[in-house]
Every structure is written in structure tokens, then in C-alpha cells.
Amino acid sequence: MELQVQLLMNTLQIGSVYVLFALGLTLIFGVMKIVNFAHGTFFTAAALIVSSVMIWGVGTMGLSIWLSYILAFFLALAVVCLIGFIVYIFGFQHFLKDLNGSFILSIGLLLLLNGTYLILYGGVPRSIPTVVPGVVTFLGASLTLQRLLLMIVAAVITLGLYILVHRTKLGLSLRAVAEDQEAAMLQGIPFRRVALYGFLIGATLAACAGALMATVTPVTTVIGDDFLVKAFIIIIIGGLGSVVGAIIGGLLIALIESFGGYYFDPSTATLAMFVLVIVLLIVRPQGILGHAEK
Amino acid sequence: MSMKKIIGITGGALLALFSAQTALADETLKVGLSAPMSGAAAAWGLGFEYAAKQAVEKVNSEGGIKAGGKTYMLELHAYDNKYNAAEGAKTAQTMLNRENIKFIVGSIGTAPVRATQALSERQGVLLFNTGWGKSIKGPDYPLTFTQMNTPFEILGPFFGYIKGQHPDLKTVAMITPNDATGQEVEPVAIETWNSLDVEVVSTDRYERGTTEFQSIATKIANSNPDAVDFGASPPADVGSIMKALDVLGWDGIKVVAPGTSAGTLSQMAGQAAEGTYLGASADFQGDSASEAQRTLNEGAVKEVGESLNAITISSYDAVMALKKAIETADSIDPKKVAETLPTIIFESSYGPAAFGGKDVYGSPQQILIPVMITQVKDGKAVEVGRVAPEELKERLK
């Protein structure tokens, strides 16, 4: 029983970040109909900024760890938003609904940004001081307070996005554009502006995931790449463009990783994810909650 | 003889002498290096590049390498292989086909080394490498030389020392990356543990680039082994797993055979890294370190922010071996240099060293240097044991 609880806790820990990251990717696809291979670089940028600002805040400025982290977190979101805005204005804006063009553009961006991070930060992995020390035990399962906080924040952000998408005017516009762009434009919805908002929200979600993960894992200049591969698997399973699908997909992948990693080994669990994608593409190509192409 | 003539002859002679010296000094010998300089194993690549640079500077400042009546100044070209085969192939293409490099003084990672070797052996290029795979050298690969100790040299004395320190050690769990390095290390490690009456209760593999290790830590903690052998895992990954094990309350013997960067390990795992046994680290500040190692180490700490270890310092030793072999062969033909390497004794950072290992690998392509056993104490690697290879002792007699 204790073991199953521990594995479920592991699932939630891993899944919460996967969901957050994949939500951004699926939102961008849903609204803009592009596949953004540079999405992981937003995650990486945020993690790197958090690591450097924390070191500066705690080491040089003598700020408390908490204050440094909050400062680093919001600075990371702001910088990633700015990067996202520049990338959208000078790049993706010209390739809306263009899968081939956006594919080439995002691959180029991925190489450019990863190279830039390497020049700026060097290749040595960084780790930041523990923000919330301590371990909690729940039904025999152990969990660091830092991981618990990460899960709570990720859940709150996910809930916030769900409310934004389903309960606000902007969310309605995003859904309308995702459903049928031309019909949405006929109703007076400014497609390009909504696409920009969708892109920035997606980039911010990736930044949130990166800024949260920086507290629990070594930060490298390619940290976002591993998450990107998982995020693609997640949104294919959940259904491209589906918010609820990304949540289900994220938790399912985390479940496979946690239980598969325990009962077999991590490599077999990774293999199982790809097998699942292959099977799903054969029997239900649109994913669990995706809509079939008309 | 008129004064005009004397001045003319003297001037001409001086000009000829100057031109000859310039011509001699102008010979450049490019040497390549391929190592991970980004990602989880970046600490290895950056230190490796630093040590190679120091060796190249030393050789050049001492007048270069003399062969065939010429003097060669070394020029280092270092590339990031990201510890994978695809990038290894890419860096090999660049070194061999674009830069026309004939001597690679260091390559880290069995997978990228294999990718490099596929080209280097075919194109007649001498390749020094740190690859831990047994199959990487032997009579079929006459131009490939290993510049550091590998599992076949390290694991026997290393595990033996640990067993000696912990006679109650009966079970070990093993985790290693799922790539060429991990796959080649795993069977040797299992065999060595078994020879010491230690049972390997589980073996797990993970993909490089993995960031979440909770499931594997849960599995290890649940099987409650006396020790965990982290196989060929790089320092950042080991640190993450140790941290996760610590949260789950496991506190056994931690063994990292390619364990090198005590600093990175302690930075990642904090207190959980204390007491870890490292098989490829080194205490280059301790009493047993040579003067060259101390100087190199101090420089690396300043420039790279990390102490050198058995992997990273090996590029220095490869350059020194190359210099001696070229001068002994009196040629810069890689094939002649490769034939000469097993016959020489050269001055490595450890002191006199040679190449041997014919009994194990079928041909003498393995560097012969001491195995150093270190343990993490207060965040630093402290040497606790040292074993010199018997073959080297015989050669030095």
C-alpha cells in the first residue's frame, strides 16, 4: 500500500510539470495551428534565469532565499514573455497555420536559442539552494516540501488556465479561433491578436514549468529538450489542441514513467510511451479528446 | 674583402638563418578533441579541454615537437560531442574532413568515441579516448588508444577496497545510462561484484537527458540494498538520484565507478553525497598528487570551477604521450606513431607511464597509470587508496 501511494505521489510530482508544459504547447497548436519545436527553449530560459538570479540574490545581494526565488520567478516569466513576443512578431506571425514553415522556423529557433544559452551560461549544470526545506510523509510516502509546493503551484496555474479558457472572453476567443478561425473572424474576433495572446500564454506556461523545475533538478542549457519530447507525446495522446486532453495525457505519461520505471526500468517505461503513441495513432489518430480532421 | 662585401655576406647569412628559423617555427600540427561541453556531463568536457590546452601550451613553450628535422607547434581544436553518437559523428567529420586533423588527443563517451572511431581508423587518424568499452580497442583498431583507466583496470581494486572497508556488504543495486558506455560497464561491474560475494539485486537503465529519477529511487530504496552502484552515470544524474534516495530515507554505501566531479556531486546532492566512493576521481590537492597535477588542478578550479579528475586530466597525458611517440618515431605519420606508442615510457601527470594491456585487450592500447580510490568528505574528493598496475611496475624496472 505504502509503495502504491509513493508511486502515485511520484506520478503527481512528475505529472504536474508535464501538464503545465504540455498545456502551453497544445494551446499554441490549437490557436495558431503550428508545431513549436522551440517551446522547450522557453522552459530552459526560465530555469536558467531562476538559477542565475537566485545565485545573485542569495550570494551577492544577501536576500533571503524566498525573496530571491519570488524575484527570480517573476523575472523569468517577464523575460520569457519578451522572448516570446519577439519570436512571434518577427517569426511565427508570418507562419500562422503553416505547418511546414513553422516547423522549419521553430527548429532554427531551437538551435539558435540553445546555442545562445550555451554561450551565455556555459555547459556546467547549475543547482539552486533549497527554497522550502523539509520532507513530509503521507500514508507512508515521502515527499519534499519543495516538490509539494511545486505540485500545488502547478495545479493552481492549471486550474487558472482552465478558468481562463472556459470562463473568460479571451478564453472564448481562443476556443473560437481554435475551433474555426474563419467563423471566429466573421464574428469580429481579431485572429492575429488572439494568436499572439495564445502564443504568449503558452510561452508563459512553459516558463512557469521551467521556473518551478529549477528548484528540484540540475539546470542545464538543454533541460527543456527532454520535456519537449514528452510534451509532444502528451499532446498526441491527449489530442492536439485539447486542454483537458493535455492534462489527461500528462498524468498518463507520468503514471507510465512512475509505475513502469518501478516495475520494469526507466528505459522500458520510455519505450512504453512511444509504443502507446504508435498504438494510439493507429486506433485513434486524433488522440483521446482531439477532434478528427474534417 | 671589402667592408661592403662583409656586410653583404653577414646580412645574407643572418637573413637565411632567420628565414630557416621562421620556416621551422611555422610548422603547425593540429590536434583535435571531442567531449561533452554541455549537458549533464559538461563538467568532464570543460575540464578535459582545459587540461589539453595546458598540455599544448607546455609543449609549445618548451619548443614544440621535433620530428623529421622539423619543429611542430601544436594547435588545439576542441568540439562539443554532447555525449551522444550523432554529435560524435558530426565532430569527427569536422575534425577529420574540414580541419584535416591527424591526431585526436581526447574523446569522451563510448558512443561518440565509436562514432569517431568509424572514421578515424578508416582515414588513418590516431585516436586517444576515454571510452569504457572493451570492444573499442584491440588488434582490429590499431590507431585507437585509451588514455585513462577503464572498468577492467578500475573495478577490481575499487570494489575490492570498498568490500574491505565494509565486510558486511552483501547486496548492491545498479543503475546506469542506457547507452554504449552503460551497456559495456554493467556486465563487468556485475561480474566484479559477484567475484567479491556481493549479490547484484537489481540492474536498471535510464536514457541520458532524464530529469526525473523518483521512480528509480523508489525502486532502489524499496529493495533496500547495502550499496548502490551508479554505473556509468554522470555527476549531475548521480546527484539527482542521491537526492531522491535521501528523501526516501535510504542511506547505504554509494559507489560511483566513473565518479569524478566531487564538487558537482556535492552541489547537486548536498549532504547526501557525503561518503560516496569515487573510482575515477582524484585528490590532486592531496599529498600523493604530483607537482604537475597540483598546478593543473589549481588552474582548473580557477578557470572551470571544478577540480580535475582521472577523466579530465587524461587529455594532458595524451598530449604528453603523443609528443614522446612522435619524437621517438621521428615522424608525424599516425601509423608510425601508433606503432611506437606501446614501446615508449613517457612522463605523464602521474609520473612515468606507458601503454599496455595486451593480455586483456589483445594489443597494448591501454594507458598504464595508478587507480586512485577517493571518497567524498566535506564536499571534496579525498584519496583513500591507490593501486599501481603490475604491468607498469614491470616496465619501469
Q: Tell me whether residues B80 and A14 touch, CB distance under 8 A.
A: no
Tell me if chain B has a CB within 8 Å of the CB of A258. Answer: yes
Q: Are β-strands B351-356 and B366-368 bridged in parallel, bridged antiparallel, or unpaired?
A: antiparallel
Q: Which among A125, A130, A265 has the least Cβ separation from residue B264? A: A125
**Are the C-beta atoms of residues A215 and A146 closer than 8 Å to each other?**
yes
Three-state secondary structure call for residue A95 = helix
The listed range with the strongest mean pLDDT (A78-87, B276-285, B299-308) is: A78-87
Residue B1 has pLDDT above 70, yes or no: no
B355-377: pLDDT as tens digits: 999 999 999 999 999 998 999 99
**Distance (Å) from the C-alpha of residue B242 to the closest C-alpha of chain A?**
12
CB contacts under 8 A, A 68-127 vs B, are 118, 122-125, 127
Nearest to A213, CA basis, from A125, A98, A282: A125
Least confident range of A154-168, B21-35, B281-295: B21-35
| Domain assignment present for B166 | no
Residue B10 has pLDDT above 80, yes or no: no
What was the pLDDT predicted at A167?
A: 93
**Distance (Å) from the C-alpha of residue B210 to the closest C-alpha of chain A?**
7
Q: How many residues does chain B have?
A: 397
CB contacts under 8 A, B 234-273 vs A, are 236, 239-240, 247-249, 264, 267-268, 270
| Domain assignment present for B197 | no
- Ordered by start, the domain boundaries in chain A are 2-283
B211-232: pLDDT as tens digits: 889 889 999 999 999 999 999 8
How far is the C-alpha of B52 from the C-alpha of B42, rounded, in Å?
Answer: 15
Nearest to A175, CA basis, from A163, B240, B117: A163
What was the pLDDT predicted at B23?
A: 47
**Distance (Å) from the C-alpha of residue A54 to the closest C-alpha of chain B?**
15
- Say if domain A2-283 classifies as CATH 3.40.1130: no
Residue B385 has pLDDT above 60, yes or no: yes
Average pLDDT, chain A: 92
Share of chain B above pLDDT 90, in %: 68
Residue B3 has pLDDT above 80, yes or no: no
Tell me if chain A has a CB within 8 Å of the CB of B218. Answer: yes
A252-279: pLDDT as tens digits: 999 999 999 899 888 889 899 999 999 9
Q: Tell me whether residues B42 and A123 touch, CB distance under 8 A.
A: yes
The boundaries of the domain holding residue B324 are 27-149+308-368
How far is the C-alpha of B211 from the C-alpha of B208, rounded, in Å?
Answer: 9
Least confident range of B193-202, B259-268, B388-397: B259-268
Nearest residue in chain B measured CA to CA from A15: B212
Q: Tell me whether residues B42 and A135 touch, CB distance under 8 A.
A: no
In Å, how far are A68, A159, A201 from A194, measured between CA atoms? 33, 21, 10
What was the pLDDT predicted at B13?
A: 58
How far is the C-alpha of B306 from the C-alpha of B43, rounded, in Å?
Answer: 7
Half-sphere exposure of A13 (CA within 13 A, CB side): 26
How far is the C-alpha of A105 from the C-alpha of A91, rounded, in Å?
Answer: 7
pTM: 0.80
| Domain assignment present for B337 | yes
Joined together, the cell numbers standing for residue A285 give 489518430
Long-range contacts of B354-358 (CB under 8 A, 24+ apart): B354/B391, B354/B392, B354/B395, B354/B396, B355/B145, B355/B321, B356/B389, B356/B391, B356/B392, B356/B395, B357/B152, B357/B153, B357/B391
**Are the C-beta atoms of residues B159 and B193 closer than 8 Å to each other?**
yes
In Å, how far are A6, A10, A139 from A255, measured between CA atoms? 12, 8, 19
A86-98 residues labelled b (16+ CB within 10 A) or e (exposed): ebbeebbeebbee
Residue B118 is part of a domain; what is its CATH number? 3.40.50.2300
Q: Tell me whether residues A218 and B239 touch, CB distance under 8 A.
A: yes
User: Number of folded domains in chain B?
Assistant: 1
**Distance (Å) from the C-alpha of residue B381 to the closest C-alpha of chain A?**
19
Residue A107 has pLDDT above 90, yes or no: yes
How far is the C-alpha of A94 from the C-alpha of B264, rounded, in Å?
Answer: 44
**Are the C-beta atoms of residues A176 and A189 closer than 8 Å to each other?**
yes
B292-339: pLDDT as tens digits: 999 999 999 999 887 888 899 999 999 999 999 999 999 999 999 999
**Are the C-beta atoms of residues B44 and B50 closer than 8 Å to each other?**
no
In Å, how far are A98, A181, A191 from A185, measured between CA atoms? 18, 6, 6
What was the pLDDT predicted at A19?
A: 95
Chain B hits for A267, CB-CB cut-off 8 Å, are: 178, 204-207
**Are the C-beta atoms of residues A266 and B214 closer than 8 Å to each other?**
no
**Strands annotated E in chain B:** 28-35, 65-67, 70-80, 103-107, 126-129, 144-146, 171-177, 199-206, 227-229, 253-256, 277-278, 345-348, 351-356, 366-368, 371-377, 380-387
A2-35: pLDDT as tens digits: 889 999 999 999 999 999 999 999 999 989 989 8
Question: What's the Rg (C-alpha) of chain A?
Answer: 19
Chain B hits for A144, CB-CB cut-off 8 Å, are: 247
Q: Which among A142, A222, A267 has the least Cβ separation from residue B249? A: A142
Q: Which among A125, A142, A260 has the least Cβ separation from residue B40? A: A125
Nearest to B211, CA basis, from B169, B181, B241: B241
Q: Which of A12, A111, A124 to mutate to test the interface with B (most CBs of B within 10 A)?
A: A124
B46-95: pLDDT as tens digits: 999 999 999 999 999 999 999 999 999 999 999 999 888 999 999 999 99
Confidence of residue B16 (pLDDT cuts 50, 70, 90): low
What was the pLDDT predicted at B257?
A: 87
How far is the C-alpha of B349 from the C-alpha of B95, rounded, in Å?
Answer: 26
Share of chain A above pLDDT 90, in %: 75
Please provide residue B40's backbone torsions phi and psi, each rounded to the nearest 5 degrees: -60, -25
**Are the C-beta atoms of residues A224 and A205 closer than 8 Å to each other?**
no
Confidence of residue B14 (pLDDT cuts 50, 70, 90): low
What is the rounded average pLDDT of the residues B20-39?
Answer: 78
Q: Write the burial class of residue B269 (CB in 10 Å: 0-12 exposed, 13-18 middle, 19+ buried).
A: buried
Chain B hits for A223, CB-CB cut-off 8 Å, are: 211
Three-state secondary structure call for residue B333 = coil
Chain B hits for A269, CB-CB cut-off 8 Å, are: 215
Alpha carbon distance, N-terminus to C-terminus of chain A: 46
Nearest to B246, CA basis, from B219, B273, B280: B273
| Domain assignment present for B103 | yes
Question: What's the Rg (C-alpha) of chain B?
Answer: 23
